[in-house]
Amino acid sequence: MEEICGGDKPFLAPNDLQTKHLQLKEESVKLFRGVKKMGGEEFSRRYLQQLESEIDELYIQYIKHNDSKNIFHAARTPATLFVVIFITYVIAGVTGFIGLDIIASLCNMIMGLTLITLCTWAYIRYSGEYRELGAVIDQVAAALWDQALYKLYSAAATHRHLYHQAFPAPKSESTEQSEKKKI
């Protein structure tokens, strides 16, 4: 596993990591069973269970190590906070323009608190102090992403897909000719 997703190796997709783990675990068990042992079957069964449990524990550690290499996982919290800042900035501008100053002030307050949270999160990541607070900020940002922003993103992506289905882009002559050749 060290050769597959060790320290200097790049991020590996979780499905590929699991597939490699299962293959290597099966090879290890097959090799263990292929070697003659003293003490009989019952005696070696205990060591086989110990081998499998150690392999599974190491796999969990490799999952965590592999996840730490994922740039998108690491950038999820600041991206979520930037999106909140941007959305509240736009809403504050629009509501201030049409005269709803109370809503604009509320959005500006939320934007300011989110900016302070982002700066606090960056300091925590940089210094390593107050890690518990950093974990809370990560959890809140993840919940915000899962509950609100991801749904907005999915709706926008679906709308974009429907728009492209209803109004397809004009095809160039070369793509039309290649499609005729396929037929």
The DSSP 8-state label assigned to residue 146 in this structure reads I
The model's pLDDT over 70-125, given as tens digits with 9 standing for 90+, comes to 776 778 899 899 999 999 999 999 999 999 999 999 999 999 999 999 999 999 98
> Based on the number of CB atoms within 10 Å of its own CB, is 77 exposed (0-12), middle (13-18) or buried (19 or more)?
buried
pTM score above 0.85: no
> Based on the number of CB atoms within 10 Å of its own CB, is 80 exposed (0-12), middle (13-18) or buried (19 or more)?
buried
CATH 3.30.110.30 fits 2-73, yes or no: no
CA distance 26 to 24: 5
What residue segments make up the domains of the chain, in order of their start?
2-73, 75-166
